[in-house]
Amino acid sequence: MQKVLVISSTPYSNSNRGIDILCNAYVKKGYTVDHCVFPASFFRSKRNRVREDGDGINQIVTRRRVLGYYERYMHSLPENLIRWFVNMATKFQNLNFDQYSVVVIESGKPIMLIDRIPRDNINIVYRQSDPMKLLSDNKYMWELEKKVCERASLIYIVRESLKEYIPVEYHPKVVTVVNGFNVENEEPLTLKSDVLSNYDKHAVYLGYTPIDFKTVDYLCEMHKDVFFNIIGDCLKKSEINKLRRHSNFKYYGPLSSKKYLPIIKFSDYGIMPFKDWTALKHIGLNSKFLLFMKYGLAIVSYYVGETNEFSNIPIIFCGNKVEFSEALRKLKLKSERMKYDIDFGFYSAGGRMEEYLEHIL
C-alpha cells in the first residue's frame, strides 16, 4: 500500500478545510496517510487542541524548535538571517521522507521543508490555500514557494483568480478545486446547556482569517441582547483580553468540528467582521459562508474581493462597523431561518472529494 505524507501547519480534524478533505480523498483512493503538523507548537495544549482521529489517517507532529521563523517579527530581517532561521526550523526533523511515494505540502510554513525532501522517487503535490505573497512580506518565502511549484507535479488552488500568483510556466500543472464545507455523516447535533449562554440571540464567527477587534468591540457594546461566539485563531491575545470585559462575548479558540458544529447550528447569525488585509481581495464564497448557509443563519459580512460569487445570495455586506451594527439590528426584527438557493451537494465534503479523486493517481 502506498503512503502519502500531508504536511500542514494545522492538525487534522474533520473540518471544512480543503487539506483535511484531501486527506480523506487519499484514504478513499487506498493510500495510508500520515498527516504531519509543521511547525509544531511549543505548547502541548495548543498542539492537541483540535486534533481528531481519522480513519486511515495517522497524525504525527514534528519536533518542536525554539528557534524558527516568525513572520510578525522577522519578515524585515536580511535574507541571509532569514535563511538561517528557516534552516534551524527545519533541521533535524523526525521525518523519513523515503517511506512516502507522495508528499502533499500546504501553503504557509510547510513550504520551508522543500529543500529537505529528496528529489528521487517522491511525487510532490502543492495545495495553495493562500499564496505566499499574501501570507508573507518575506521574499525568501516567495522564493521557497516557487521551488515548491517547480518540483510539484500538481498544484491545487481554490479559485481561478489565484492563478496570477503561480508563475506562468507552471500553469499547466494547476487545478482549481473550490472550497466547500463538511457536515456529512454527522451525529444528530444536540446542545448541552453549558455550551451557549442563556441569551435569546447568538452570533458566531468561525475561522482563522483575522477579524477586526474594533468592530467586535462595537457590536458587543451596541447589542447587549446578542451573545457573540468567536471560534478560531482570529484575534490577538491582547484583543481577546480587552473583549472579555463584555459579558456577551466568548472566545473559544480553535475547536474540533464536534464542538463547533452545535454552536453554529443553534446560533442565529453568522458574522464576518474581517480585518482589512491584502488577502481579502481573494475571499469569496468559501467554507465559512457555506457552513453558515447550510444551517440557515442570516449572514452579515464586511466586503470581500470576490463579491461576484454571491450574486442572488441574500448576504448583507457592509463597509464599516456602524453599517454592520445596523444590519444586525434589522436582522433581529426577523425570526425565521434563512433559505439559500445553493447546490450544497456540489460544495459538500463529498462533492469536493470527488473532484480531488479525479486527480489522485
Cell of 37: 503538523
Distance CA 156, CA 173 (A): 8
Q: Which uninterrupted H or E stretch holds 201?
A: strand 201-206
Yes or no: say if 90 and 111 are a contact pair by the CB < 8 Å rule. Answer: no
Q: 54 — alpha (psi -120 to 50), left (phi > 0) or beta?
A: beta
pLDDT at 42: 46
User: Is the pLDDT confidence value at 238 over 70?
Assistant: yes
Closest CA to 4 of 24, 42, 33, 40: 33
pLDDT in tens, 15-38: 778 899 999 999 999 999 999 998
Q: How many C-beta atoms surround the C-beta of residue 318 within 10 A?
A: 19
Domains plus CATH for the chain? 3-177 (3.40.50.11010), 201-344 (3.40.50.2000)
Question: Is the bond into 172 cis (omega within 30 degrees of 0)?
Answer: no
pLDDT above 70 for 211? yes
The fraction of the chain above a pLDDT of 90, given in percent, is: 56
Find the range with the poorest average confidence among 38-47, 56-65, 234-243.
38-47
Asked which of 22-26, 66-70, 207-211, 254-258 is least confident by mean pLDDT, the reply is 66-70
pLDDT at 43: 42
Cβ atoms within 10 A of the Cβ of 125, count? 23
What residues contact residue 37 under an 8 Å CB cut-off, 6+ apart? 8, 9, 10, 11, 47, 59, 60, 61, 62
